[in-house]
Amino acid sequence: LCIHDNYRNNPFHNFRHCFCVTQMMYSMISLCSLQKSQYYINIFILQEKFSQIDILILMTAAVCHDLDHPGYNNTYQINARTELAVRYNDISPLENHHCAVAFQIISQPEYNIFSNVDQDQFKQIRQGIITLILATDMARHAEILDSFKEKMENFDYSNEKHMTCLKMILIKCCDISNEVRPMEVAEPWVDCLLEEYFMQSDREKSEGLPVAPFMDRDKVTKPTAQIGFLKFVLIPMFETVTKLFPEVEEMMLQPLWESRDRYEELKQIDDAMKEVSSKYLFDKANGMIK
């Protein structure tokens, strides 16, 4: 309940988004058989992937990753010189704030879910959660994905750096995974995100701040917004994950391909309608239509 109460009622970055990200994290852990296990198959012992503490870090980071999100992104925070931007020196101000709020909650005895772990374990858990939440800053997307691609060549589950990078990729996938879900679930989330974007761009215009074209209600449409995001962000990342976990392709990558194709069809329809409308207005202006 305390986590719930520390999410604001934004159109997109709210507790429902937190719930979806956490549910997707659970799904990816399950689908990819990431929970560390030891069992016997004939004479072979299989022991691999994540420990219980790793799973705890992943799930807690997912729940906490957008705590107290104000509904305006890092670009706005920095350009508007907000308190958060000043406090965190323009370095991932929102993600640093989410971490701080998470551990402010955990520091309260009644909410401290780590009260029974020893000091060394708590340091490991805290650092793990902070690392994952900071990884959700999309400004770091290329850096993190490139690092993961390098490690993919010879991925080693016993290598701590490799495993940390995998956890970062997992929370990134979950954070932006709405298009993996069925269309009737995914599309309303696009509307919510655009509503939040438009609120920000309207405010930026009123305050004389730069406005990103993909957030401007006068320049962006749902199909154009999603096609670029799917083609250049979502699909490449999930394709990379699929190389390590082939089971992801059918359940998660295939829906992304289908979503891309659907939005491209919608864009073609939009373009055709605009062309017809433009021709009609041109003909009417030139007296060809009475």
Are the C-beta atoms of 65 and 51 separated by less than 8 Å?
no
Are the C-beta atoms of 19 and 65 separated by less than 8 Å?
no
Q: Could you give the 3-state DSSP secondary structure of residue 252?
A: helix
Place of tokens 């399950």: 30
H or E stretch at 65: none
Q: Is 137 annotated as a binding residue?
A: no
13, 69, 98, 162: the active-site residue: 13
Alpha-carbon distance values, 196 to 10, 72, 91 (Å): 7, 8, 22
Q: Which ranges of the chain does DSSP label H, i.e. alpha helix?
A: 2-5, 15-31, 52-64, 74-79, 83-87, 93-106, 119-134, 141-152, 160-175, 183-206, 222-229, 235-244, 248, 254-285
Are the C-beta atoms of 167 and 175 separated by less than 8 Å?
no
Q: Is 19 annotated as a binding residue?
A: no
Q: Is 162 annotated as a binding residue?
A: no
Catalytic (active site) residue 13: yes
Measured in degrees and rounded to the nearest 5, phi and psi for residue 47 equal -140, 120
- Please, how many CA atoms are within 13 Å of residue 59, restricted to the half-sphere of its CB? 15
Cα separation of 141 and 146, whole Å? 8
Identify the bridge partners of residue 50 per DSSP, sorted by sequence position.
35
Q: Is 127 annotated as a binding residue?
A: no
Place of tokens 């305006």: 72
Radius of gyration of the CA atoms of the chain, in A: 22
Q: Is 17 annotated as a binding residue?
A: yes
Q: Is 65 annotated as a binding residue?
A: yes
Q: Is 77 annotated as a binding residue?
A: no
Cα separation of 129 and 137, whole Å? 14
- According to DSSP, residue 233 is labeled I
Residues marked as binding for AMP?
A: 13-17, 66, 175, 226
Residues marked as binding for Zn(2+)?
A: 17, 65-66, 175
Residues that are catalytic: 13
Residues marked as binding?
A: 13-17, 65-66, 175, 226
